[in-house]
Structure 1
Amino acid sequence: MNDPARDLTGWTIAFDLDGTLVETAPDLIGTLNRMLAARDIPQMPVEAAQHLVGHGALALLRHGFQEAGAPWRESEAQALLEEFLADYIEHIADFSRPYDGVIATLERLAARGAILCVATNKRTDLSVALIEALDMTHHFAVICGPDLVSARKPDGAHIREAVSMSGGDPARAIMVGDGAPDVQAAKSAGVPSVVVSFGYTPIPAKDLGGDVLVDHFDQVEAAIDGLIAEVRARRSI
């Protein structure tokens, strides 16, 4: 007999990390600003640089330097990236915190039988370090950065492979994210998406094309329930 309290059994919820589960901009931009200061370049306010977050460390560094007016040479990119990562890992959870409602929502979804995983464009070792520092590791079956999959978001392979690695079925998955790569990857993977409005995106969240838009993480569970109900209704026709 099915346990009605575990009505999400068989479903996998994949979450983006930066700007979705955790507010990471203060520490990421903090590292960028320390690098800029070391080169006598004016620092960037966190609010003005949040749109740089979510596309990976190298993209953040490249565009951050360019927007701050710092010289950028691709021939020096690897050395600058290594400098960035060395500093960031030392400050990875100085100010980064899960958004309000995240922990309670993850606990409720897991209690209802859902598999939870992370599908992020943040490198896996950095993602694991951050999630461990915030004591969130036990919530997730897999923490999957772009180095663990055949293609990163916005490619749907990132979601499909992360879900499969979690022991889930990519045909019964939902993506929760804050940016265009999340929505595009979900569409490519053929899964519904929930978009949070409080994350890091240069495009207004309402214009990203996700299936449901929420303004607080407390609304994510209800959004997931609605999407699953729609999927079940379509498949019963």
Structure 2
Amino acid sequence: MPSPARFAGRPVDAVVFDLDGTLIDSAEDLGRAANRLLAEEGRRALSMAEVRSFIGDGARVLVERAMAATGTAAGGEALTDLTTRFIAHYESDPTAATTVYPSVPETLAALRRAGLRIAVCTNKPQTATGSVLGVLGLADLVDAAAGGDRFPVRKPDAGHLLGTLELIGVAAGRAVMVGDNEHDAAVARSAGTGAVLVTYGYARRPLAEIDVDARIDRLDGLLELLGLAAASAVDKPAPRP
């Protein structure tokens, strides 16, 4: 049965979500891993504001930014080694302080009930992505997940989003990308999907400057955008018989 969802005047069969800053707040765990690495290198710890500004481009770029912010920059084989160590620190306990944003599980469940396919397209490494989704109880609500090392390219390259859509068998013209920053908006535009940003998360540019079709303050606002339900419906208890 075709999905009843529509966005910007066209039918929608799938929604693809960014992960960090969109579905989950993982900054504290990413910061812990980064600061363990920096301590090993004899460097100062990052503030949470710094950590949040470094998230969104994958592990290697986060480490590169952390090194540059605390002393001599790193590149080449040295950066590769540092990134490997950072990932090991992070994957040892990636959900100790990570939380799911309000209305996320309910919204994903509502989208599935409406017949939509759901995917995650994130620059987080694939292994960590699977682990986080599993531990936080989101894995069963997602049809496919493509981490930053799943394909030869990653966001904002259109190939990352298009490859994710291939995993769930949906054309870009019938999908919406939901994220929190300029890379998510850019990949949506280049791939040809709808583009929605949440107003929380880790955007490095003012949201008003980012070209998207819509912005939402909570994830359940997506249901209203797609014509599926009132934005607050997922939080309302079922009426008593």
- Give the TM-score, by structure 1 length: 0.88
Q: How far apart are residue 73 of structure 1 and its match? A: 4.2
Q: How far apart are residue 220 of structure 1 and its match? A: 2.1
* Segment of structure 1 superposing worse, 162-171 or 56-65: 162-171
Contact 1:149 1:162 in 2 (8 A): no
* Consecutive aligned runs of 4 or more in structure 1 exceeding 6 Å deviation: none
Contact 1:10 1:168 in 2 (8 A): no
Tell me, in whole angstroms, the C-alpha distance in 2 between the residues paired with 1:123 and 1:37: 23
Q: How far apart are residue 10 of structure 1 and its match? A: 6.1
Tell me, in whole angstroms, the C-alpha distance in 2 between the residues paired with 1:208 and 1:71: 29
Tell me what 1:229 maps to. none
DSSP-derived class of the 1:147 partner: coil
Tell me, in whole angstroms, the C-alpha distance in 2 between the residues paired with 1:187 and 1:73: 31
Superposition pairs of residues 43-192 of structure 1, within 5 angstroms: 43-192=45-194
Aligned CA distance change for structure 1 residues 144 and 31 (closer, same or farther; 3 Å): same
Q: Kindly, what percent of the aligned residue pairs are identical?
A: 27
Contact 2:64 2:73 in 1 (8 A): no
Q: How far apart are residue 142 of structure 1 and its match? A: 0.5
Tell me what 1:23 maps to. 25
* Segment of structure 1 superposing worse, 152-161 or 91-100: 152-161
Q: How far apart are residue 61 of structure 1 and its match? A: 0.4
Tell me, in whole angstroms, the C-alpha distance in 1 between the residues paired with 2:89 and 2:213: 37
* Segment of structure 1 superposing worse, 84-93 or 38-47: 38-47
Tell me, in whole angstroms, the C-alpha distance in 1 between the residues paired with 2:123 and 2:172: 19
Superposition pairs of residues 1-16 of structure 1, within 5 angstroms: 7-8=4-5, 11-16=13-18
Q: How far apart are residue 224 of structure 1 and its match? A: 3.3
Contact 1:178 1:196 in 2 (8 A): yes
Superposition pairs of residues 198-209 of structure 1, within 5 angstroms: 198-209=200-211
| Residue identity matched to 2:86 | F
The number of residues matched between the two structures is 223
| Residue identity matched to 2:77 | S
Tell me what 2:236 maps to. none
Q: How far apart are residue 169 of structure 1 and its match? A: 2.6
Partner deviation per Cα, 1:27-55 (whole Å, 9 max, x = no partner): 01111111112233221121232011010
Tell me, in whole angstroms, the C-alpha distance in 2 between the residues paired with 1:225 and 1:14: 17
DSSP-derived class of the 1:217 partner: coil
* Segment of structure 1 superposing worse, 70-79 or 172-181: 70-79
Partner deviation per Cα, 1:51-88 (whole Å, 9 max, x = no partner): 11010000000001111225524331121111111110
Tell me, in whole angstroms, the C-alpha distance in 1 between the residues paired with 2:148 and 2:28: 22
Partner deviation per Cα, 1:150-170 (whole Å, 9 max, x = no partner): 532112222222112112232
Contact 1:101 1:217 in 2 (8 A): yes
Tell me, in whole angstroms, the C-alpha distance in 2 between the residues paired with 1:170 and 1:73: 35
Tell me what 2:219 maps to. 217
Tell me, in whole angstroms, the C-alpha distance in 1 between the residues paired with 2:166 and 2:226: 19
Tell me, in whole angstroms, the C-alpha distance in 2 between the residues paired with 1:54 and 1:135: 22
Partner deviation per Cα, 1:69-122 (whole Å, 9 max, x = no partner): 255243311211111111100120001111011111111111111100001111
Q: How far apart are residue 192 of structure 1 and its match? A: 1.0
DSSP-derived class of the 2:149 partner: helix
- Give the TM-score, by structure 2 length: 0.86
| Residue identity matched to 1:29 | G
For the aligned residue pairs, the C-alpha RMSD in angstroms reads 1.9
